[in-house]
């Protein structure tokens, strides 16, 4: 069974601060996705990374896939209140199923 450990589980910061969320596993994944979910809505796909060492940037968000494809990080620069939400990482394997981390509930305070 593949497991993804996501940390931290809760994060409360002030607007303008930087933060990093981590996703770690002992298993190799063929792809790694990050989602953001707002209350009462479905998760929205932010990014998919597939190559070991890959770095992708989406405005103030930077996503990194570890060289061995076992871990990933999401870094947010100068957080805004609109970044508040549940961030989920999910690893893709060969069986068309995703393995989700437990999520990071981010609150950005004004």
Residues that bind another protein (CB under 8 A): 30-31, 33, 35, 40-45, 48, 50, 86, 88, 90, 92-93, 96-98, 100-103, 105
Query: Residue 4 burial (CB < 10 Å; 0-12/13-18/19+)?
Result: buried
Minimum Å distance from CB 94 to another protein? 8
Minimum Å distance from CB 41 to another protein? 6
DSSP letter for each residue of 28-77: --SEEEEEEE-TTS--EEEEEE-STT-EEEETTEEEEE-TTSSEEEEEES
Decide whether 18 or 30 has the Cβ nearer to another protein: 30
Decide whether 45 or 68 has the Cβ nearer to another protein: 45
Minimum Å distance from CB 33 to another protein? 5
């Amino acid at each position: 069974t593949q497991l993804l450990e996501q940390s931290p589980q809760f994060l409360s910061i002030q607007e303008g601060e930087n933060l990093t969320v981590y996703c770690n596993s002992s298993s190799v994944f063929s792809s790694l996705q990050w989602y953001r979910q707002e209350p009462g809505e479905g998760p929205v796909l932010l990014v998919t990374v597939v190559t070991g060492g890959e770095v992708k940037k989406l405005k103030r968000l930077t996503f990194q896939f570890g060289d061995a494809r076992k871990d990933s990080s999401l870094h947010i620069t100068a957080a805004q209140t609109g970044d508040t939400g549940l961030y989920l990482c999910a690893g893709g394997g060969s069986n068309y199923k995703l393995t989700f981390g437990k999520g990071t509930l981010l609150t950005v305070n004004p």
